[in-house]
Structure 1
Amino acid sequence: MHFRPFLLGLCLFLSVLSARAQADYQPTAENLQAREWFQDAKYGMFIHWGVYSVVGGGGDRGVAEWLMQQKQISVDDYEQLPHYFNPTAFDAKAWVQLAKDAGMHYITITSKHHDGFAMYDSQVSDYDIVDRTPYGKDVLKLLKDECDRQGIKLFFYHSQLDWHHPGYYPRGRTGQYTGRPDEGNWQHYLDYQNAQLTELLTHYGDVAGIWFDGWWDKAEAPAWKLDETYALIHKLQPQALIGNNHHRAPFPGEDFQMFEKDLPGHNTTGFGSSANDIGTLPRETCETMNGSWGYNLTDDRYKSTKDLVHYLVRAAGYNANFLLNVGPQPNGEIQSEFQDTLRAVGTWLQTYGPTVYGTRGGPVAPKTWGVTTQKDNKVYVHVLDYADRTLLIPDFKGRVKSARLFNSGSKVKYQTNAYGLLLELPQNRTGDLDTVIELTL
């Protein structure tokens, strides 16, 4: 591992220059505009890809990008994996086209996961895809150039946790089996982290944002110095959105709030999301297409097109984006099962996209039967799981001018009374992924 003094010095100068501002962070006009775009985009592709894909889970459905931790692999042994990582089938154009076919408007890809391996050409470390693999190419650069050509925005996922760097000390909740000495310079690690972020924000053009993960490894440690890191990012690219998967209410300096494998206010995962944790920032929920984030050869727990459409729609009803993950294979291809389902969701969006894109959560709180979304004077009632012919929406706010089925334009009978808004649903809804009724107020 080697460090370039100039880049580290630039990083430290910028962070000191503006660190104090983050406690009272006021987003720029460019940042506020980016937040609006983000909320309108609604749907993105998450990509977990790294040298761990070579192992393909090792026959264990529960192992992928956490391979180093779960199999208790030392740094010395894990450093052998890059020698076998040669994704000659990687095609940035095909990846971006797949995202577009799926109806997605942005991509978030791992620039560095918890194993510490950089998936780009880092100048402050040789532990990266260019210097350590036979492939020797900067996949983030190739992907960013293609995203620019096809009009897709790119976020970088960057792990704050690092099982490889010797300066990540004291250890947190994970990374206890890596064989590193029980000593290290924490400030040295933070300088390294910020130097890599500086690379990502100065070598790849305009970046949509930084998606942080790993803060929870040392959750009670004030030594993270988030003010300095966030100030650095906002200084280098004011429009770039910052989110942090810390499972808490938003911290000062953040621009959007994410929820891992849960809708806002739900806590099926145990990560700590509750109604009290929801802030006022734009929201995003992320989920996998099977059970794994990274590539896993034996994980066939595939979610159906219906599952994913319902999750996307429910997320929109909760006023949140949906970031749907794929874990590419070690050769660089995205497995066919994922591609087929993604394109099926994209086909559904070709018809129903206007009821999702550009909307906000509707006037009716999400229910077991479905959700509502809204754009201007249009309210879209998404009936996802409901068998009866009539649907009563109590205490509906707003005067309804007309009601119609969104896909056919057929009129829907309705009436308002002391109990609320009563809608008469079509008789034959068998096979429908989502019955959408458009209300004009």
Structure 2
Amino acid sequence: MKFTCKHVVFFLFFTAVTYGQGIQNYTPSPENLEARKWFQEAKFGLFVHWGVYSVLGDGEWVMNNQNIPIDAYEKLPNFFNPIGFDADEWVKMVKDAGMKYITITSRHHDGFSMFDTNANSYNIVDATPYGKDVLKQLAEACRKENIKLFFYYSTLDWHHDDYFPRGRTGKGIPGRGQGDWDKYIAFMKTQLTELLTNYGDIAGIWFDGHWDQKQWDGKKFGKLQVNWHYDEIYKLIHDLQPQCLIGNNHHLAPIEGEDFQMFEKDLPGRNTTGWGTSASDIGKLPLEVCETINGSWGFNLQDRKHKTNKELIQYIVKAAGYGSNLLLNVGPMPNGKIQEEHKESLKKMGEWMRKNGETIYGTKAGPIPPNDAIASTQKGKKVYLHVLNQDDDVVLIKDFKGSLKGVQLFNGKTKLKHQKTPYGLLIQIPKEKMDDIDTIVELTLR
């Protein structure tokens, strides 16, 4: 078929509607570039999934998983009264854990807003006996302690009639009506304007739900059936707060207008989940991996999959080995408190970070590609080799090219025997100096 101008115009329109284009030729502001630098060096943050779903103690997807009718789910806010919530206590916990920022759900897929919004009355201030804005309290506590605040914002909504056409999820929820997609986009813009106007400086917006409008054949995502209007939404955010970083959990290569790239429950490019982002889709933006402290995002009474201190510490080390941050999640209980076992894990991570954080904070991915046994980070002429799972006291680094000035343990500064061979760099670590979680070797380059 011969292409005409008419066909080209149609193609461009169809592409925009199908894929949801970002800001064409986006140029980040100086404030934004400075924020990206900070983010890239921060390395560790707290993810918080909290909403009225916590009342049911079955995770944040309970509305979808149990196909709870709209009118039944709307009863939940009446039982949500988190009088145990203490924003100052949360922020102190975050600082003690060595975390630099918090990302909290302002609105999840169930459509309930955890902040004071004029866009509807389905929010924590108007619909619960608690009647207070937890995000406002958290923003004030973060400012006092110099902790950055990000807002998670769901683009998917199982409650709002204007989220139509419906996506792949929530199809079995009774009581969902049909509405106007353009009105839904306007609703989101109103709420994002509120979040970026009423809470002071916001470090970033963490979008989630794009994938709901993509066809899925069990192996891969297909085309979008809607236009997300990212060009308008991303511009709105950067106009209101230029430093505000935009990330989108769409499992794709970055879209223009985004400022960092995230990976859900997966190290960058590994795609062990099957619906993650492949190595070829990794862009040049700062990276972030999000992971749960147990097996659930939202509070789950029956979750027994709590990760060990070793697993959690090694995960932040591996993430840093990819040049990525780790955003570690907790799901607070409906009373506003965080589970004691989660607090204890964060405390242990903080103790480790105070001792070893120099090898994580402010680093970039090291020259030795990470695997399950070894990760490396780098800061200037220092390369930190993290030996994670090895019983042998001799470590072989294949194809090591650098010229070395010295090799020693990071903790204790014990000098180590080493030798460059045709097979790579051999380093001998005394067995009594090996650490069960992470033996850190400091390589000084010439």
- Same amino acid, percent of matched pairs: 57
SS in 2 for 1:340: helix
Partner Cα distance (1:267, 1:430) in 2: 31
Match for residue 337 of structure 1 among 323, 336, 341:
341
With 424-433 and 30-39 compared, the bigger mean Cα shift is at: 424-433
The one-letter amino acid of 1:96's match is V
Partner Cα distance (2:176, 2:112) in 1: 19
Partner Cα distance (1:249, 1:196) in 2: 26
For structure 2, which runs of at least 5 residues remain unmatched after alignment? 1-19, 215-223
> Shift of residue 174 of structure 1?
1.1
Q: Does 1:217 align with 2:212?
A: yes
The aligned counterpart of 1:394 is: 398
Q: Deviations over 1:343-389 (max 9, x none)?
A: 00110111100000000000111133211000011000000011212
Cα gap change, 1:181/1:112 in structure 2, threshold over 3 Å: closer, same or farther? closer
Partner Cα distance (1:43, 1:391) in 2: 28
Q: Does 1:202 align with 2:197?
A: yes
> Shift of residue 21 of structure 1?
8.5
Q: Does 1:230 align with 2:234?
A: yes
Partner Cα distance (2:401, 2:311) in 1: 30
- Give yes or no for contact 1:365–1:371 (8 Å, CA) kept in 2: yes
The aligned counterpart of 1:167 is: 162
The one-letter amino acid of 1:332's match is G
> Shift of residue 235 of structure 1?
0.7
The aligned counterpart of 1:151 is: 146
Partner Cα distance (2:147, 2:237) in 1: 21
Cα gap change, 1:181/1:45 in structure 2, threshold over 3 Å: closer, same or farther? closer
- Give yes or no for contact 1:90–1:332 (8 Å, CA) kept in 2: yes
SS in 2 for 1:202: coil
Partner Cα distance (1:133, 1:183) in 2: 26
SS in 2 for 1:311: helix
Partner Cα distance (1:344, 1:164) in 2: 39
> Shift of residue 178 of structure 1?
3.1
Q: Does 1:22 align with 2:23?
A: yes
- Give yes or no for contact 2:109–2:155 (8 Å, CA) kept in 1: yes
SS in 2 for 1:36: helix
The aligned counterpart of 2:95 is: 100
The aligned counterpart of 2:181 is: 186
The aligned counterpart of 2:8 is: none
> Shift of residue 272 of structure 1?
3.0
Q: Does 1:90 align with 2:85?
A: yes
SS in 2 for 1:223: coil
Cα gap change, 1:43/1:181 in structure 2, threshold over 3 Å: closer, same or farther? closer
- Give yes or no for contact 1:363–1:397 (8 Å, CA) kept in 2: no
The aligned counterpart of 2:356 is: 352
> Shift of residue 150 of structure 1?
0.6
Q: Deviations over 1:263-317 (max 9, x none)?
A: 0111221223211111111100011011100001111211010000000000000
Partner Cα distance (1:362, 1:388) in 2: 22
Q: Deviations over 1:70-107 (max 9, x none)?
A: 11011111110000000000000110111111110000
The one-letter amino acid of 2:305's match is R
Partner Cα distance (2:381, 2:430) in 1: 23
The one-letter amino acid of 2:143's match is D
Match for residue 312 of structure 2 among 308, 312, 324:
308
- Give yes or no for contact 2:291–2:327 (8 Å, CA) kept in 1: yes
The aligned counterpart of 2:60 is: 65
The aligned counterpart of 2:125 is: 130
Counterpart mapping for 1:48-59 below 5 A: 48-57=49-58
The one-letter amino acid of 1:106's match is Y
Match for residue 409 of structure 1 among 406, 413, 417:
413
Cα gap change, 1:327/1:182 in structure 2, threshold over 3 Å: closer, same or farther? closer
The aligned counterpart of 1:37 is: 38
The one-letter amino acid of 2:439's match is T
Partner Cα distance (1:304, 1:189) in 2: 42
SS in 2 for 1:401: strand
With 422-431 and 145-154 compared, the bigger mean Cα shift is at: 422-431
The one-letter amino acid of 2:343's match is Q
Partner Cα distance (1:418, 1:270) in 2: 38
Q: Deviations over 1:35-70 (max 9, x none)?
A: 11001000000000000001111xxxxxx1001101
Partner Cα distance (2:344, 2:334) in 1: 19
Q: Does 1:76 align with 2:76?
A: no
Q: Deviations over 1:137-171 (max 9, x none)?
A: 00000000000001100000000000111101111
TM norm structure 2: 0.91
For structure 1, which runs of at least 5 residues remain unmatched after alignment? 1-18, 58-63
Partner Cα distance (1:419, 1:275) in 2: 27
Partner Cα distance (1:397, 1:150) in 2: 43
Partner Cα distance (2:404, 2:147) in 1: 37
Match for residue 252 of structure 1 among 249, 256, 266:
256
Cα gap change, 1:181/1:421 in structure 2, threshold over 3 Å: closer, same or farther? closer
- Give yes or no for contact 1:167–1:185 (8 Å, CA) kept in 2: yes
Q: Deviations over 1:7-59 (max 9, x none)?
A: xxxxxxxxxxxx999111011111111111001000000000000001111xx
- Give yes or no for contact 1:164–1:178 (8 Å, CA) kept in 2: no
The one-letter amino acid of 2:392's match is D
Partner Cα distance (2:34, 2:290) in 1: 23
> Shift of residue 431 of structure 1?
5.1
> Shift of residue 186 of structure 1?
0.4
- Give yes or no for contact 1:21–1:231 (8 Å, CA) kept in 2: no
Cα gap change, 1:181/1:430 in structure 2, threshold over 3 Å: closer, same or farther? closer
The aligned counterpart of 2:10 is: none
Partner Cα distance (2:303, 2:372) in 1: 29
- Give yes or no for contact 2:23–2:256 (8 Å, CA) kept in 1: yes
Partner Cα distance (1:375, 1:280) in 2: 19
Partner Cα distance (1:431, 1:412) in 2: 15
The one-letter amino acid of 2:160's match is H
Greater than 4 Å deviation, 4+ residue runs: none
